[in-house]
Structure 1
């Protein structure tokens, strides 16, 4: 009786998980099959039908020649802008958070807890409230409407979150390790590079994936602080979808949306297990 009940429970759990997976994957399926259809198949009105043939024309148009307003170069320049912005912003904000977390957990000083509390405001504060002061700062620095300006904005915006991740993770490291290293003559940076950083792989993976996803998918800062030649992929996708034409090319729009979301999907497919392991390690340590 217990074995039958256990089997039914497992079947019920698997059934619920399968339904949830189908529910969340259905939009991606519709987008994918639509992107490979031509205009005639789309006008037939069957969203879930498979394409008669793999037509890559919509992908070519979305990448290299679809119009985003008056610019008809597709998403390629926006994609390159996002890559140029995301890579340094992720590395800077992660490194900055690691050092901050190291200081606030293992090199505490008078007022460090108060400073950490102030940093937490950056985690919960809506980004809309910093648009005007940040715009003024970028103007004073001569970085308005540039990719470098976006790198600075995202580095500053992500600093609070990365500091929180690393500070909580490093708080579980025994202080005896740091004290023993200091007695052996190791200084601030030597302890960080030789002892703390080698123990940081789980939280590093979590932070890198988290920051990459947030920065790549950001639209608010991209539309507020970028110029015509520095707009990221999210702004380009919005411009493409809102560009008026005599006939709406849904296959091009779907292909463009998949191109815009492909890097984050690949990150989670290829490194998702490290993200889960890092979160689990942090939960056990904290």
Structure 2
């Protein structure tokens, strides 16, 4: 057998090899690379969290740049006690702000979205454009006139003022999300059936649409709750440490002339805990609610 014959035999053997084996090896390599990247991404995200947690349980003498990755030699909760004493009063006030903001702005956005998507009227597109325009107005550009408007209206400074402001600024994004949700998810036949039965716009919205709005409401509630809870700019302009939310108290705790880094780390973890719980409880419906309003059936 010549060299040419051997080459031809090798090529024939390669072509005769089952394609499934080659495809399976490629699939395994792709899965390995994907999960390796995912694990590395998770590690990168969790590294700051690790430093936060271990530092919050250290005493002052153990805190330093060189030993930031080391576990505490003596675990202590003194920093957590100090952080809670500083943040505790504002913690409850922030719940009093974030929960009404999420519910009120979601309800107003739901009504706007229903009218603009299913109950058309002359100039509806212009009204929708003007509402969305509020999403592109920078907070910094309106902070001084906004404070003057709030003072002229006579709203009580502190949490009531922040509820009013966050609800107003949350209407555009809630309207956008829920308008897309109603336009792509709620069947037109449902609206027509309500009209045939004699239901008007308000009755249709209250008796039918709200019951179908849970996925969209999950998205807007998570969005608004997180935005209100984490806000600092509105809080620093429209409230103070005595009547403001937790972000101002956290800044006061971390911004002292001689900062207590362990207490600051514990305070940051306490501050982020409610939003983390919200995402854990409602996160499984968050992506589904977003996708429900993005693809037309």
Question: TM-score, normalised on structure 1?
Answer: 0.91
Q: Residue 198 in 1 paired to residue 216 in 2? A: no
The CA deviation at 1:46 is: 1.3
The 8 Å contact of residues 178 and 293 in structure 2, kept in 1 or not, is answered as no
Structure 2 counterpart of 1:268, from 279, 288, 294: 279
Find out whether 1:125 has 2:137 as its counterpart.
yes
Match of 1:111 in 2: 123
Q: Which moved more, 1:109-118 or 1:39-48?
A: 39-48
Distance in 1 between residues matched to 2:127 and 2:189, nearest whole Å: 24
The answer to which of 275-284 and 37-46 deviates more is 37-46
**Residue in structure 2 matched with residue 251 of structure 1 by the alignment:** 262
| Contact 2:219 2:289 survives alignment (8 Å) | yes
Equivalent residue number for residue 38 of structure 1: 59
Question: Which region of structure 1 is more displaced relative to structure 2, 164-173 or 113-122?
Answer: 164-173
Q: Does 1:215 align with 2:236?
A: no
Larger Rg: 2
Q: Deviations over 1:154-193 (max 9, x none)?
A: 0001011101111111112232321221111112222112
Task: Give the counterpart of 1:61 among 75, 78, 82.
Answer: 82
**Normalised by the size of structure 2, how large is the TM-score?**
0.88
Segments of structure 1 that go 5 or more residues without pairing to the other structure are 65-73
Q: Is this contact kept in 2: 1:169–1:285, CA < 8 A?
A: no
* Farther off after superposition, 181-190 or 23-32: 181-190
**Which residue number in structure 1 is paired with residue 105 of structure 2?**
93
Whether the aligned pair in 2 keeps the contact of 1:90 and 1:212 (CA below 8 Å) is yes
Question: Is the counterpart of residue 8 in structure 1 residue 29 in structure 2?
Answer: yes
> Hey, what's the Cα distance between the residues in 1 that align with 2:29 and 2:241?
58
Q: CA RMSD in A?
A: 1.6
**CA deviation string 1:96-117 (max 9, x = no partner):** 1011111111111111110000
| Cα shift readout 1:64-118 (whole Å, capped 9, x = no counterpart) | 1xxxxxxxxx111221221111111111111110111111111111111100001
Give the distance between the partners of 1:44 and 1:182, measured in 2 at CA. 68
Quick check: 1:223–1:235 contact (8 Å CA) kept in 2? yes
Distance 1:267 1:53, change over 3 A: farther
